[in-house]
Amino acid sequence: MLDVLDVHWKRRIAIIYFVDALQQKKFGDSHCYHGLWIIWTSRNKFVYENRQTTGRDISYKISDFFAELRGIEEKKLIFADDDAPQTEESSTRTSIYFDAAFDQQNARSASGLLVRGEGGEILVSKSVIHSNIGTPFAAEAHAGLQALELGRSMVLTDLQIKGDSKTIIKKCQSSEQDRSIIGAIIRDIQELKTSFNSIWFCYIPRTANIFAHSIAIEALKKEEEHYLVGAIQNTICLVTERMNPRY
């Protein structure tokens, strides 16, 4: 009974904060509808499925939605009025971290990507879902390919691609034709390399790639893709803290 009351009051607190934000006109009408939908969905899960959602989780889901909307709006600013990408050169120290999560039973994978600027600041976080993936190596190769495609879409000219798969990093560094089962993906990567003035592929340990790893894991678990500018999802922060408290 106490647990039920605890969940009830936490949910009420989340609703109170949300209503207060509405009264201060922090959100537009469409944002309000989505926030109310999240609250109502959590209520239905509790009533019909006995699945408890805390007020903190509800708040995170709402803030993640708003952050994603801001990311979409900022992404639009990258393009000129005629939809042609701007050609301003970016920092030579921009790094894109990539990792993959693989679901063998359903032949699916998720790519987790994190872009950091010269000062280590987060520029973009992104996740992509893939289907018909046969092996973990294919999942990692797709993640590496997504990293290059993201760099090209951001009009980066000089960058570092960082991942914790030695095999994939070595294949990406090579200019020789790859005849393995993932050869087609590696060829796409090698062709994309010509889109940049300079590009480096660097192997890093998993402990240095924990954010990209967490992004991939959460995307595969939730079967959701996302693109955020200047931020990562709050749920990713929580997962990362549990996996490695020093972050």
On whether the CB atoms of residues 148 and 193 are closer than 8 A, the answer is yes
Domains of the chain: 2-76 (no CATH), 94-243 (3.30.420.10)
Evaluated on CA atoms 165, 166, 167, 171, the torsion sign reads: positive
On whether the CB atoms of residues 129 and 108 are closer than 8 A, the answer is yes
Evaluated on CA atoms 12, 14, 20, 25, the torsion sign reads: negative
Residue 199 CB-half CA count within 13 A: 26
Per-residue pLDDT of the chain in tens (247 residues, 90 and over written 9): 444 445 455 555 555 555 554 454 444 555 555 566 666 666 666 666 666 666 656 665 565 555 555 554 444 433 333 343 333 344 457 999 999 999 999 999 999 999 999 888 999 999 999 999 999 999 999 999 999 999 999 999 999 999 999 999 999 999 899 999 999 999 999 999 999 999 999 999 999 999 999 999 999 999 999 999 998 887 777 666 665 555 4
Distance CA 244, CA 52 (A): 26
Number of Cβ within a 10 Å radius of residue 218: 21
Q: 9 phi and psi, to 5 degrees?
A: -70, -35
